[in-house]
Each structure stands twice: as C-alpha cells, then as structure tokens.
Amino acid sequence: MSAVVVLDIGKTNAKLALIDDDGTLLAERRCPNAPLRDGPYPHHDTEGIWTWMLTTLAEFAGMAHVDAIVPVTHGATAALVDDAGLVLPVPDYEHEPAAALAEYLALRPSFAETRSPRLPAGLNLGRQLAWLAQAYPAAFDRARHILLYPQYWASRLCGVAAGEVTSLGCHTDLWDPQRQRYSTLVERMGWQPLLPPLRQAWDTLGTLLPTLAAQTGLPASCRIVCGIHDSNASLLRHLGGDPPAVLSTGTWVIAAAPGRALDGLREEADMLANTSALGQPVPCMRFMGGREFAELAGARPAAYPAAALQRIVCSGTYALPGFAGAGGPFAGRRGSIVGPAPVNDAERSALATLYVALMSDYCLDALGAGDDVVVEGSFTNNPCFAPLLAALRPGRRIAVTDDASGTTCGGWMLAHWGRVPPVQASVAQPLALEGLAAYRLAWLARLA
C-alpha cells in the first residue's frame, strides 16, 4: 500500500499523518510544540521535533510504502542555515526582538506594497531577520540560506534548499503580492542572495537522504515535496472556479476571501493579503481564536448544550476582545467579560464558542466575504460552532468539512498534484437562539 506522510507543524502541536493514495487517513501521531526558553532567546525545539519525527517515520515505514513526505507549517518563521545546519536557533515569533522597533519601522516597506500589516513581536518575519542580523552579526554572516519553515524541514530531509511563495507572502514584509516579487526590504537589506530559488509548493525537491532512509526504513525513492504555509494548505482545494470564503480554524482562526479585491484591506485591523500556492494575492483577516477559546473556556473545556448558549445570550454576558495579545483586529486591547460571569465549565465553554463565532463573523464581514463559507480545522469538532456562525449570518451558506485538518488535506494534494481528495461537506443548520441578532448588535456596539 502506497501512502504520503504530511508533517504538519502548528503553533501548539506538531502532527504526522499517514494518508493512502485515496486520501484515507491511516494513522496520525501528535506531539506538543512548546518553545524552548534556554539559549539566547525563545526558540523552536527543532531537534525535539526532528527526533520525534524520525521515530514516527520508522513506525509508519512498517505500515505502508511511503512515497512522499510533505512539510506544512505555521508562518512567520524561518531558519538561518549553513552547510552544517542551523547557525542560530529558530526564533519563536511570539518573542519580542530586543532591537528598537523604531529602527525596523524605518526600514519596512509600506502596507500598499506588501499588504503585510505591522504586527507585534516577531510576527513580521522581516523584523526577526533584521534583529538577528543586528544582534548576532557573526552568525548571520555565516548563513548560506534563509529558509522559510516548511522548506527548512524539506531541506533537512533531502538536502535541497528552496523558497516558496505562501510562506514568503504571509505577513513577512518580504514579498510584494501584487507584483509577485521580493519587496524593497529584501533589496535594502541585501538578503536576496540568501533566499534560495523559488519552487512551486508541489514540486519534488529530491529524495530522502540515504542516511535517513536507512535510519527510518523508508524507501530511498521517497520524494520530499517543497511544502506550504498551513492556512494556504487549507485553502488549496477551494481555489478553482468561483471559490467560497474559507475559515481555517486552529490556534489561529484565519478568514480568507479568494477572488476579492485588495482595496478594502486596512492595516490597523490586521487585514492582509496572503499569497496562494498559485501566486494569487488572497485577502485575509485573522485572530488567535484557538488560544482565546482556551483562555475563556478555562483549564477544563466542557461539552455544553445549546441551552448554555441561550443562558449566555439572555443574561447579557459578553466576551470582548482580545485574550491572546498576538495580533488580530483588536490588537492591543485587553480582553474583558461584561455582564454576569459564567457559573460553570459548560457556560465558560459556551461563552468561548460564542466569542470565536462572533469574531469570525466580524472578520468575514470586514473582508466582504460572499454568501458561501467553508469551515475547516479544529473547530469543526465543536458541534455548536458552525450552527452558531450560520445563525449569525442568516441567509448565507455555512458548510463544514468532515476533515478536522484542512492542512493535512492540502499536504496530500501537493503530493498528488491535480487531484482533490473526496472530502465531504455538510451545510450547517442555523442554531435557534432567541435574541441572538440583538445580542450580536450589542456586542458590535461594545467594540466601539
């Protein structure tokens, strides 16, 4: 039996999925992805992920003939490497670079050029790189390549360095999405020689290094695919024809409106243009919904009935943004709960779901999303989320995929370019909650 392995590194967890040629999930393994606090600055545990990955790949080798490995990762992350490997640890984008912000703001291109909003901490990758060049000049000068995070893992697996537009075009300040070329920041900083040749996300870069094939038991012919930014992987199967808006849910909730104009994007609202795998600019808006849900639901998220949502609405309890402190349309605003506090775990989880649905609705409206929305990712496992979103957006179609990880599906598609797996989608029926329309208006009024 032939299969593909998708390496899916999210901000909270790393995952390896073994998927057969028909798109059926055969096995899945996860491990936490917590940044390390030792060393010169908070950084990703690349060696921990590498060890776990090789052990899991050896397990998968006994289950199927692995034809290809596809890396899919979160954005705002890059590795500086020489021929021996990392010259510096890979920074965690939630770390605030020590360099003065004013110095970087004087360097970065305008929003009109990059459609990359000014973001906190290291969420603008250009700021990370400028800081590393300033703070660690000797190490930076040793670097042979700047590798975006999916291509870092691809390079470790096959030894071939490459670049790719979805990670370059993810609020990095490094890419001009309308002209499909590097931004003026890259020229200004002299970084273009460090950026390897651009490849398509679905390109095969090479085969698994012989030492790794021997170590894992995978075939020497196993292809290593270039890879992709995770929310763009979720978008991949929706790009043909008249695409719907896509709500990719996880640690980040990202609303994407392919085919819409860029003119309405507002930097101060954390609106941006991502770049699709096909090189198209895609209007997007996002917030850290998974992290905020966890903050609101508490340590013990609980199942809850629709009646718990009704109690929250009737009691006039509002969760007002934001609860993550990492970007989003209300960045810098401290989250608060107005009205009677939830009294138990079920009500706290109900309020958290209501909050994420309201924020998702807000982002979709701000983007000018059309009548069709597809919900993908981890919130498809929350039975009230999509029906609640449908109730907030009456008369419009909210579809839910049966795949809780659109990123995994997108990774499979890259290994089988030209094919779309048979993923089913169901239309959410609006949740009947008395007073929800008035509650939504009151919540929006409180945002002002």
Per the listing, tokens 């599906």 go with 409
Contact 166/277 with Cβ under 8 angstroms?
Answer: yes
Alpha-helical regions (H) of 100-148: 101-105, 111-114, 125-135, 137-142
Strand, coil or helix: what is 427? strand
Residues of the chain with pLDDT under 50: none
**For all residues of the chain together, what is the average pLDDT?**
94
Angle, helices 306-315/345-367, rounded to nearest 10 degrees: 80
What residue ranges do the domains of the chain occupy? 2-226, 233-447
Length of the chain: 448
The CATH homologous superfamily for domain 2-226 is: ATPase, nucleotide binding domain (3.30.420.40)
Alpha-helical regions (H) of 368-435: 385-392, 406-415
From CA 241, how far away is CA 226, in angstroms rounded? 25
Alpha carbon of residue 412 to chain centroid: 17
Question: Do 2-226 and 233-447 fold alike per CATH?
Answer: yes
What are the tokens at 356?
């994420």
Residue (of 229, 306, 256) closest to 71 by Cα position: 229
pLDDT for residue 404: 63
What are the tokens at 101?
């912000």
**How many Cα atoms are found within 13 Å in the side-chain-facing hemisphere of 299?**
0
pLDDT for residue 240: 79
* Amino acid symbol at 269: A
pLDDT for residue 242: 85
How many C-beta atoms lie closer than 10 Å to residue 329's C-beta? 20
From CA 251, how far away is CA 155, in angstroms rounded? 26
Q: Could you tell me which CATH number the domain at 233-447 has?
A: 3.30.420.40
Per DSSP bridges, beta strands 271-275 and 318-320 are: unpaired
